[in-house]
Structure 1
Amino acid sequence: MTHRTVHEWGCVSVGDDGFTRSQADALLATARAHRLGGTDGTDILCDHHRHLRARQMVGVIAARGASLEILPKVDPAISDDAPSTVRGRLMHMLNVAVGLDISAGEASAMSHRADSLLDLFITLFADRLLSEVRRGLPRQYKHVEDDLLALRGRLDIIRQFTVHAVRPDRLACRFDALSVDIPLMQIMKACVLFVSRHTQSMATQRKLAELRFLLDEVRTITPSALPWKRVRIDRASRRWSSLLELARLLLGQRWQETHAASHEPEGISVLFPMNDLFEAYVAVQLRRALADSGLDVVTQGGLRYCLGPWREGEDTVGTSFSTRPDILVRRGSEVEIILDTKWKNLTNGVSQADVYQMMAYARIYHSPRLVLLYPAVPGANGREVEMHGLASGRERLEIATVAVDGSEAELREELRHLIFPRMHA
């Protein structure tokens, strides 16, 4: 297995020091099959013959005999951070955005031990699941129909006097029994079997083998047929919620669009669009920062339309070309601030398309404040906010950055400062 690590927008060679041509072709085929790949898979990887260039997806893409880890990077011009440091930073963002319930110390320690993000995810899943299974498997009452020697529950009269009419030694019984073969555990077992083929760690392989033995009573179901909608997390099973999120990541059910390539049974790809992850991370931190302010934080809301039938003397009611701002900050039903997150390097400037988009939001949502929010370059000092007015109006467009390499407390303070600048003056 040839493994390489690269940052988003970075290159990995195809030749003596990188992947072979056949390995590169296998990775490109996996990218083309991935639903995030876009046209010919070029939203994930681009083929330049002598090298492959990564795009703005992060995670791991794997194929037969090769795997490529793509790590996030705000500014390609600065010197690279250690991969373990970047993995820890990415794991922290995922932990906050998805709710994996990982402590800061645990994420840092695991990111330094793991050889790749995939190894990190599988190790975390195996450790967590083994710990929970040893505490005891959750069980639910399940309706059972069986032919027994002694009566249990109720007698199935119709079956008894048809199928067993000449077999008085058999009783057709209907009863409820506690069972571990429930949707939650079927998902856990499917994930164990799936990731067992992809870990390189012998210690993790031993844990997964023990899990296969402990889950022997649970039916084996293919990933495509798993009963995700039938899983119920209640007070008794709440401790399994973070494991369920990990299974969603590894089996392809999270919003980050993880994917097991159908054409490549030995491959696995766990990819995250950094724009979406940055938006979700900021939204969670902003919601925590404004918890006591009386303001509501709504993600991917609004859904107001740009165009509608025109009638002279009447305000137009939109019916087509819907809008979906990244984050709305509302007080009651009034939109006070619209934030649009951009996982880009602000030193390259603000694009005209982004400004036009914010002008449309100002008109449609009647919001007095609009914010384009970018990640700050790691290690940069100062968080300056540029303020601009929209022409022929009183709306204010702010261009700001927030640090993603600091502590959560510092980030929430920055966001609160951004929302209430006068209170922090």
Structure 2
Amino acid sequence: MTHYVLREWERLPIGDGAGEIVPSHASSLAAAAQQSTFARRDGGGVLDYGRQYLRARGVVGIVAGEGCSLEILPKIDALETDSALRERLVHMLDVAFDLKIDLGGTSRAQWQSETLLDVLIRAFCEKLANALRKGMPRAYSTLEDDLPALRGGLNVTRQFTRHAVNPSRLACRFDEFLPDIALNQIMKATVLHLSHHARSFAVQQDLRELVFLYAEISDVPVAMLPWDRVRLDRTNDRWQGLLALARLFLEQKFQSTTVGAGQGAALLFNMAALFENYIGRLTRRACAGTALDVRLQGGRKYCLTDQATGRQLFQTKPDIIIQRNGVVTHIIDTKWKQIEAQIDDPKRGVSQADVYQMMAYAQLYRAPRLTLLYPQPNAQSARDGVHAAFDMGEHAVLEIASVALDRSATEICSQLSRLVEGEKSSTSLALAYPMPR
């Protein structure tokens, strides 16, 4: 299988030369991308497919077609190599989806040679194998059987209807501690599903061994998996990350598609949504143990109310709302695009629509401090945090800030903590601009 690597918004020329993608592969990948949930009605959304090039849009991940695959990596200027971008993307997915995977043992060679899908499948296999070493989850199930000796309780109705003339058999109802439960059925379905998509021979071998371990578990179609019957508690909480990975592979994120005469697959993520979720979870982590309460995609207030019908219109969902004692003190909205230098653009690349959005938040939530948060532009940008601040009327300030994504989660949490520390100075504004009753 031929593998191609592309970064967000970059173009891959179509042709037969070096550094180009052959036309049949371009067509197959475009067809697979068109069947993704990220594709618009016109077929775009993931890839722009022209006569001379294939261009990635604001979606990252893996698209596989007949005999080929395309890996789309995020555009983070501070990270130059594909392996570094792949490692950062996996880290962001880990935090955003609460996967709880440990990739500390992954070598530089593996980050360079394996695709995003390879890395995630290998992580799933290692995590699942480690969990199974501690024992496969089991639960009591009520069974019924006709036995020569009494076991459990007697099903009186069944006994006197079916075995009225043959008392040598007893209709028994009993509980048995069995592994064929919802959690194990989901894990087996995930292993079987991934066995069709793994490229690495070593990972394929790991998947075959896992299939053997789940031989006694029922085969359940992906569409009928009993997600709602899974119960996690203190005795089996080590399976939480595995369940999140299984959802990643089996639900909307990972799609098997039909591409002409062959099969395709897509494991794709909207980078703007991923950045928002990643920053939101790290902000919550940075504020843990403080008097600040962090709400993600909360608020949900409406901009307009119809005077005639009372119907509310245009609901808002700020990315991050920070409260102190129930009072909104700060709203952060993430933007997955580059901030401009002041010398190039005094508006710093902020769109008019973004400003109007923040003005609406200031009015609806009475927030004295609002921040548009961007990824740090490049490795040479020495300063993260607030780049500029603007008055938005008498009681609100709009900040333009950035966060450096080439650093560890701990360092990014420190950046966000420093950004949020401005709450102390804005508390007096929050009190002067009280929440509406």
TM-score, normalised to structure 1's length? Answer: 0.91
Q: What SS does the corresponding residue of 2:197 show, helix, strand or coil?
A: coil
Moved more, 145-154 or 15-24: 15-24
Aligned 8 A contact 2:159 2:171 in 1: yes
TM-aligned CA deviation for residue 351 of structure 1: 1.0
Q: Deviations over 1:54-99 (max 9, x none)?
A: 1111111112222111000045xx8x71111111111111222222
User: Which residue in the other structure is 1:68 paired with?
Assistant: 70
- Report the residue type matching 2:54 in the other structure: L
Query: Aligned runs of 1:54-133 on 2, under 5 Å?
Result: 54-75=56-77, 81-103=80-102, 105-106=104-105, 112=111, 114-133=113-132
User: Which residue in the other structure is 2:434 paired with?
Assistant: none
- Report the residue type matching 1:97 in the other structure: A
User: Which residue in the other structure is 2:283 paired with?
Assistant: 286
Aligned partner of 1:335 among 305, 328, 333: 328
User: Which residue in the other structure is 1:190 paired with?
Assistant: 189
Aligned 8 A contact 2:256 2:264 in 1: yes
User: Which residue in the other structure is 1:398 paired with?
Assistant: 399
Aligned 8 A contact 1:88 1:108 in 2: no
Aligned 8 A contact 2:82 2:112 in 1: no
Distance 2:331 2:310 in 1: 21
User: Which residue in the other structure is 2:339 paired with?
Assistant: 346
User: Which residue in the other structure is 2:429 paired with?
Assistant: none
Distance 2:190 2:372 in 1: 39
Moved more, 10-19 or 319-328: 10-19
TM-aligned CA deviation for residue 279 of structure 1: 1.0
Q: Deviations over 1:284-317 (max 9, x none)?
A: 2111222232011101000100111349xxxx98
User: Which residue in the other structure is 1:275 paired with?
Assistant: 272
Aligned partner of 2:306 among 300, 305, 309: 309
TM-aligned CA deviation for residue 394 of structure 1: 2.9
User: Which residue in the other structure is 2:382 paired with?
Assistant: 381
Q: Give unmatched runs, 5+ long, in structure 2.
A: 341-347, 426-437
TM-aligned CA deviation for residue 326 of structure 1: 0.6
TM-aligned CA deviation for residue 114 of structure 1: 4.7
Distance 2:37 2:2 in 1: 24
Aligned 8 A contact 2:280 2:296 in 1: yes
- Report the residue type matching 1:53 in the other structure: R
1:259 matched to 2:254: yes
Moved more, 41-50 or 375-384: 375-384
User: Which residue in the other structure is 1:371 paired with?
Assistant: 371
Q: Deviations over 1:362-391 (max 9, x none)?
A: 11111111100000034121124200012x
TM-aligned CA deviation for residue 216 of structure 1: 0.7
Aligned 8 A contact 2:60 2:72 in 1: yes
Distance 2:122 2:61 in 1: 15
Distance 1:29 1:278 in 2: 27
Q: What SS does the corresponding residue of 1:199 show, helix, strand or coil?
A: coil
TM-aligned CA deviation for residue 111 of structure 1: 5.4
TM-aligned CA deviation for residue 5 of structure 1: 0.7
Distance 1:248 1:394, change over 3 A: same
Distance 1:159 1:100, change over 3 A: same
- Report the residue type matching 1:142 in the other structure: S
Q: Deviations over 1:34-55 (max 9, x none)?
A: 1121223311111112221111
Distance 1:382 1:107 in 2: 31
Distance 2:414 2:267 in 1: 32
Distance 1:94 1:123 in 2: 15
Distance 1:334 1:121 in 2: 41
Distance 2:288 2:211 in 1: 43
Query: Aligned runs of 1:90-239 on 2, under 5 Å?
Result: 90-103=89-102, 105-106=104-105, 112=111, 114-239=113-238
- Report the residue type matching 2:360 in the other structure: A
Distance 1:332 1:28 in 2: 51
- Report the residue type matching 1:293 in the other structure: T
Distance 1:21 1:162, change over 3 A: farther
Aligned partner of 1:30 among 26, 29, 32: 32
Aligned 8 A contact 1:251 1:259 in 2: yes
Identity %: 45
Q: Deviations over 1:252-291 (max 9, x none)?
A: 2xxxx40313546843211111111111111121112222
Distance 1:111 1:281 in 2: 24
- Report the residue type matching 2:213 in the other structure: L
Q: What SS does the corresponding residue of 2:104 show, helix, strand or coil?
A: helix
Q: What SS does the corresponding residue of 2:4 show, helix, strand or coil?
A: strand
Distance 2:73 2:358 in 1: 29
Distance 1:359 1:89, change over 3 A: same
Q: What SS does the corresponding residue of 2:122 show, helix, strand or coil?
A: helix
